[in-house]
Amino acid sequence: MASVSELASTLTSVLQKLPSLQEIPNDDRVLLLQVVNELQARLETYVESIQKLIFSPQDLSAIRLAQGMGIFDAFAASGDKELTLDELHSKVKGEKGLLVRIMRSLCCKNVCKETGQDRYCPLQLAFLFVNGMPTGELIKHFYANMRASARLYDYFEANGYQNPTDSYDAPFQLAFDTKDHYFEWLAKNPADQKAFNSTMTLGRRVRGKEWFEVFPVGEKLQASSDRALLVDIGGGIGHDLIEFKQQFPELPGRLVLQDLPQVIDDISQPLPDGIEAIKYDMFTPQPIRGAKAYYMRTVLHDWPAKQAVKALTQVREAMAEDSILILNENCIPESNVSWHSTVVDITMMEIFSSLERTQRQWVDLLEQAGFQVVGSYCPGSVRGNVFLAVDPGKLGRRKGTSSPSHAETPKKKTGRVRDAGGGQRMIIYTPDTGIIVGKQLLGKFLTFMTEGRGMTTWPIRLLDMIDLHSSWRSSTWAASLIFNGQVSGHRPCLVEYRKYYGDGLQHQRLFMQRIGNSTATPTLDDVVNTMVLAYTEGMLVTTPNAAQCHLTMAVDLLGRIGPQSCQGGLAWTLFCDLRTVHVSSSPSKNPK
């Protein structure tokens, strides 16, 4: 076994040979970072871990103080050359003794480097904190928010540790001794408003694919030249609309940017032709009526349900019969939430009484406001999700009518899921849209899985709707959408998802084959996966007798996990429920 000194020497050698950050693929970089973090966690004592935790506010405070003194500006003006203490002192505010103390902190955090006694040079991070840089404004923004963090305990102690529900009664109001909402307070504090705007701009740079790269723009966004095509509510200074316009310059229709007056006034460059800016408060009646699409990106995560539903209601009341709502939002998983998402969630709680929502919470919120979610698209970003929602009360109206009195009742057809006992369950859908408006296709299965039976991982996976191109688990979701397209005769739905199902199905079959050939004891999750595929094969037959083969494998897996799971357990009950199910549809319209 290598000695600790030999391991240290090896790590030093590896570090010296490490390529530049730009040369390392992101997945490899993340993997290396995980290994390094694990190594550090193994080597740290509890005391050292606690020290890092409790003293982290001091690090941010030192950087903010350095900004105020002009330390980063001084280094930027001098290039990347070394400065003596006296040279640096001549370029900044404050006494020399304070400068020495702040430089010690910056050097410990790898912001600057001490090259000798009273000699310093800037490192890469130092140039990011220059006043006026977006990352410099980021420091100012979160430093100011620390006041709310400092009163978090006092707030919840006084309120009985209940989740806050009103944006006008958050820890922010307690910390800043104000009755103003945070956005109202920003309007009265221009420097903080500028820091906030820069932070929001910076946040848009760290996402994955843009929403319009995964959303079916050509299918969903068509409008006449005199109609508003896309209304970006709370769109900041216009980044999303500008990028959308660059990507789709040929699409007819108006592009409308909406935000509060202080945000619109902060737009420094003229907007491209075809984009108009309107000062607008989203809690007031929407002035753009009947737009094809209303779009909101990371707007509602700033608001608890009490206010978010009010804002969504203004959108819904402005919609025409064919209007859609596109919601591009942070979306966290039900479990194993990342560190970044947890700190953002606490920040939302401190400042807005809001939260980072799961997919299920987003769907619930939209339904509270009278919307129906009919699509979800994952851009493959760290935490993003794009929801497509409609007002089901306006579906089926004749084009050109806006009054409910002129609405037509959509013609309905039905598909049935029958079981061996003769019972049946109706699926009602509109032939024009392919949207199921009755009991959902997988409602029976999901209800079973979520009614306190101790198994929550599968419905969470199913509802997460992760990247359909890469995960075998997503084949079930794709199959349900294909079935929806078949029974409704909705060709785009069928075409869009059929291509995903084949790849997903193959991955799932290979997985089950490995499980079947393995001597290892399978888990309940493995059993449920096979039965879910059997259920979807019953809906969408791709191979003769495939459903029966999957159920046969499920029986084998049930036997291998032990009698205790086969006698009244979750998997056995689910198996008994699903093995009798077969699917038929009426009419037999089945587009290819």
Distance of alpha carbon 477 from alpha carbon 66, whole angstroms: 52
Give per-10-residue mean pLDDT for the chain (592 aa): 81 86 82 87 90 91 96 91 95 96 96 95 93 90 95 95 94 96 93 89 65 87 91 92 92 95 88 94 96 94 94 95 91 86 94 93 90 79 68 54 32 30 27 30 42 36 35 44 46 49 57 62 64 61 66 70 52 48 31 32
Considering the domain architecture, whether residues 121 and 140 belong to the same structural domain is answered as no
Let me know if residue 242 belongs to a domain.
Answer: yes
The residue out of 76, 109, 128 marking a domain boundary is 128
Cis peptide leading into residue 249 (ω within 30°): no
Q: Is 589 helix (H, G, I), strand (E, B) or coil?
A: coil
Q: How far, rounded to the nearest angstrom, does the alpha carbon of residue 40 sit from its chain's CA centroid?
A: 29
Structural domain count of the chain: 4
Q: Strand pairing of 372-377 and 83-84?
A: unpaired
Residue for token digits 């500006």?
A: 73
CA dihedral 191, 197, 198, 201 (to 10 degrees): 180
Q: Which of 357, 283, 369 is nearest to 325 (CA)?
A: 369
Residue for token digits 């039905």?
A: 414
Helix 56-69 and helix 96-108, axial crossing angle in degrees, nearest 10: 130
The pLDDT assigned to 475 comes to: 46
Phi, psi of 185 (to 5 degrees): -65, -40
Considering the domain architecture, whether residues 185 and 93 belong to the same structural domain is answered as no
Let me know if residue 20 belongs to a domain.
Answer: no
CB neighbours of residue 154 within 10 Å: 12
**Sign of the CA dihedral 525, 531, 536, 540?**
positive
- Give the pTM: 0.62
The pLDDT assigned to 289 comes to: 96
Q: Is 509 helix (H, G, I), strand (E, B) or coil?
A: helix
Note the residue count of the chain. 592
Considering the domain architecture, whether residues 378 and 527 belong to the same structural domain is answered as no
Write the single-letter amino acid at 243.
E
Domain that holds residue 316: 212-394
Considering the domain architecture, whether residues 115 and 153 belong to the same structural domain is answered as no
Let me know if residue 514 belongs to a domain.
Answer: yes
Q: Strand pairing of 228-233 and 119-122?
A: unpaired
Q: Is 567 helix (H, G, I), strand (E, B) or coil?
A: coil
Considering the domain architecture, whether residues 446 and 350 belong to the same structural domain is answered as no
Q: What share of the chain is helix, strand, coil (3-state, %, to 5)?
A: 55, 10, 35
Locate 9 and state its tokens: 């020497």
Considering the domain architecture, whether residues 352 and 491 belong to the same structural domain is answered as no
Residues in a beta bridge with 417: 425, 583
Considering the domain architecture, whether residues 158 and 219 belong to the same structural domain is answered as no
The pLDDT assigned to 525 comes to: 59
Considering the domain architecture, whether residues 236 and 381 belong to the same structural domain is answered as yes
Structural element, H or E, at residue 549: helix 546-561
Which parts of 70-189 fold into alpha helices (H)?
A: 71-77, 85-89, 96-108, 124-128, 134-150, 152-158, 171-176, 182-187
The residue out of 89, 108, 128 marking a domain boundary is 128
Q: Which of 214, 228, 379, 357 is nearest to 291 (CA)?
A: 228
Q: Is 255 helix (H, G, I), strand (E, B) or coil?
A: strand
In our burial notation (b when 16+ CB lie closer than 10 A, e otherwise), range 450-474 reads eeeeebeebbbbbbbbbebeebbbb
Q: Is 115 helix (H, G, I), strand (E, B) or coil?
A: strand
Distance of alpha carbon 144 from alpha carbon 126, whole angstroms: 20
Let me know if residue 305 belongs to a domain.
Answer: yes
Considering the domain architecture, whether residues 481 and 544 belong to the same structural domain is answered as yes
Helix 457-464 and helix 359-368, axial crossing angle in degrees, nearest 10: 70
Let me know if residue 350 belongs to a domain.
Answer: yes
Which domain CATH number covers 319?
A: 3.40.50.150
Residue for token digits 């040979």?
A: 17
CA dihedral 318, 320, 323, 329 (to 10 degrees): 20
Q: Where does residue 370 fall: left (phi above 0), alpha (psi -120 to 50 degrees), or beta otherwise?
A: left
Annotated catalytic sites, by residue? 301
Sheet strands side by side (includes 119-122) = 83-84, 119-122, 112-116
Q: Are 528 and 508 a contacting pair, CB within 8 Å?
A: no
Let me know if residue 307 belongs to a domain.
Answer: yes
Q: How far, rounded to the nearest angstrom, does the alpha carbon of residue 301 sit from its chain's CA centroid?
A: 10
The pLDDT assigned to 30 comes to: 80
Q: Are 282 and 295 a contacting pair, CB within 8 Å?
A: no
Considering the domain architecture, whether residues 435 and 287 belong to the same structural domain is answered as no
Which domain CATH number covers 124?
A: 1.10.10.10
Q: Are 368 and 311 a contacting pair, CB within 8 Å?
A: no
Considering the domain architecture, whether residues 226 and 349 belong to the same structural domain is answered as yes
Say which DSSP state 233 is in.
E
Let me know if residue 3 belongs to a domain.
Answer: no
At a CB cut-off of 8 Å and minimum separation 6, what does 257 contact? 232, 235, 238, 241, 264, 271, 275, 276, 277, 278
Distance of alpha carbon 16 from alpha carbon 543, whole angstroms: 55
Considering the domain architecture, whether residues 303 and 422 belong to the same structural domain is answered as no
Let me know if residue 31 belongs to a domain.
Answer: no
The residue out of 366, 394, 422 marking a domain boundary is 394
SS3 sequence of 358-386:
EHHHHHHHHHHCCCEEEEEECCCCCCEEE
Locate 2 and state its tokens: 């290598």
Distance of alpha carbon 373 from alpha carbon 251, whole angstroms: 25
